[in-house]
């Protein structure tokens, strides 16, 4: 049996590249996004009553990697990239059908200039991610406090600390449209976006990432990240 699935909407996210996106939703609460509905679903009826729910499940397509295949065994970053687990025992992005799911916070519903959108936060999704379904999060059924979670049984914490140079601080202060920019960058860097194999080394190296239309450069020194520079991405 085969079937087609069409997107119901698309995510507009500050994460413009896979690098530095947290591994799960709500690890970085300042990550705000809009879910913009496709024409067929661009009517308020489709979301009537949704604002009664604080959180939603999003089902989506890992569109950036979905055509790159999958393996039965994957190396979860949580295990340092050395140990293998079955793909269905992980949240790996390279998986049959390329479907992901994230429980995110609903901040509001917007209907502006004829366009319906959901305002979300705590997302772990790349800009342009196609959404295939939305369901309300039901604590009585979905919050399983006695669940066992194997190799991923705790929230991933790092010892990483974050500071900003004067240039970075000054630039961020002038971005009045992004009042949470500093907290956003801080929490993304606290997650330590480096690949698993890099984290093992006590390295001193600079990295770059894009958030919104900004380029952020930082230096890793042991367990400290110093944000060197924040600039506008050059077109």
In the complex, the residues that contact ligand SAM under the rule CB under 6 A are: 18, 21, 23-25, 62-65, 91, 93, 100-102, 124-126, 129
How many residues are listed for the chain in this entry? 235
Minimum Å gap between C-beta 139 and ligand SAM is 18
Residue closer to ligand SAM (CB basis): 64 or 133? 64
CA–CA separation, 126 and 72 (whole Å): 24
Residue closer to ligand SAM (CB basis): 60 or 164? 60
Minimum Å gap between C-beta 64 and ligand SAM is 4
| 32 and 121 Cβ atoms separated by less than 8 Å | yes
Q: List C-alpha distances in Å: 89 to 95, 152, 209.
A: 11, 10, 30
Minimum Å gap between C-beta 31 and ligand SAM is 11
With a CB cutoff of 8 Å and minimum separation 6, the contacts of 28 are 22, 122, 184, 187, 188, 191
Residue closer to ligand SAM (CB basis): 117 or 125? 125
Helix pair 166-173, 181-190: axis angle to 10 deg: 130
Q: Which residue is nearest to ligand SAM (CB)?
A: 100
| 26 and 122 Cβ atoms separated by less than 8 Å | yes
Minimum Å gap between C-beta 25 and ligand SAM is 6
Residue closer to ligand SAM (CB basis): 24 or 226? 24
């Amino acid at each position: 049996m085969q079937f087609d699935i069409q997107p119901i909407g698309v995510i507009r996210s500050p994460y413009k590249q896979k690098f530095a996106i947290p591994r799960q939703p709500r690890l970085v609460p300042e990550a705000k996004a809009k879910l913009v509905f496709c024409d067929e679903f661009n009517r308020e009826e489709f979301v009537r009553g949704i604002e009664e729910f604080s959180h939603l499940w999003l089902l989506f397509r890992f569109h950036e990697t979905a055509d790159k295949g999958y393996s039965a065994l994957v190396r979860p970053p949580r295990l340092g990239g050395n140990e293998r687990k079955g793909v269905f025992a992980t949240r790996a992005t390279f998986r049959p059908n390329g479907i992901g799911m994230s429980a995110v916070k609903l901040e509001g519903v917007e209907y502006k200039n004829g366009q319906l959108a959901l305002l979300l936060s705590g997302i772990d999704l790349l800009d342009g991610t196609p959404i295939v379904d939305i369901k309300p999060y039901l604590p009585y059924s979905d919050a399983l406090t006695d669940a066992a979670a194997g190799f991923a049984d705790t929230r991933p914490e790092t010892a990483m600390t974050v500071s900003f140079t004067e240039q970075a601080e000054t630039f961020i202060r002038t971005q009045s449209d992004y009042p949470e920019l500093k907290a956003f960058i801080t929490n993304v860097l606290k997650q330590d976006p480096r690949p698993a194999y890099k984290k093992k080394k006590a390295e001193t190296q600079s990295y770059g990432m894009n958030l919104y239309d900004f380029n952020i450069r930082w230096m890793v020194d042991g367990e400290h990240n110093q944000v060197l520079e924040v600039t506008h991405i050059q077109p």
